[in-house]
Amino acid sequence: MDVWVDWISALIETHQAWAIPIVGLIAFGESLAVIGLLIPATAVMLLIGGLIGAGVLDPAPILIATIVGAILGDAVSYYVGAYFGPGLVQTRFMRNHRQGVARARLFFRKYGVLAVFLGRFFGPVRSTVPLVAGIIRMDHLRFQVANIASAFVWAPLILAPGYVAARGAGEMGLDSEAHFVGLVAIVTVASIGLGIYGVIRMSTPRARKSLAKAQRS
């Protein structure tokens, strides 16, 4: 995965014109159900944010590409869920992800429509919330409003750490690469902490009972 990120970094630095479609595709793929789990979007977006902060890339088109990619990714996941319905969960493609779907259903039961907005920022259900929204036939307009609103918030937030790190390194005379590595380490530790917290919350007797019920439904 690190090799893949390094390859993207070298490609963008050599051919800056490719940055916009690459960022759009990364945001799109990261937002797709299941497939998003395989894409190191956070690392790439930190890198892109750093290049913006260093003045290598123009922020406006990158931000637009990120927003559009995120919106389209969630929309495609929603339409896939709506087209195939509950039977999709029983297919071979979803065999190893049924618990993730069940978690997303619990998320909807707890937060309702707001789950679509919050789901974009919550790792354990990030890649399955839009899919489940389609499966349960969530109102299309409400879904798209939450989808678009969350994308407009998520895009600058995911680019900001890399941008701030690069700007800070330049102003303080620090080595930008070391600064970036340190930031990645902080983000990784924070992500692991949130993941552990989510697992603990889902491991309570009440949560396990609800999860089992959601998987059967």
pLDDT tens per residue across span 70-99: 999 999 999 998 988 888 877 776 777 777
* Confidence grade of residue 176 (pLDDT, cut at 50, 70, 90): very low
- Least confident segment among 94-98, 112-116, 175-179: 175-179
Per DSSP, the residues of 110-137 read HHTTHHHHHHTT-GGGTTTHHHHHHHTT
Top pLDDT among 196 and 19 is at 19
- What's the whole-model pTM score? 0.73
Answer whether residue 16 shows pLDDT above 60: yes
Top pLDDT among 72 and 211 is at 72
Other residues' Cβ atoms within 10 Å of the Cβ of residue 11: 13
Which residue from 162, 167, 148, 8 is spatially nearest to 78, judged by alpha carbons? 148
* Confidence grade of residue 214 (pLDDT, cut at 50, 70, 90): very low
* Confidence grade of residue 65 (pLDDT, cut at 50, 70, 90): very high
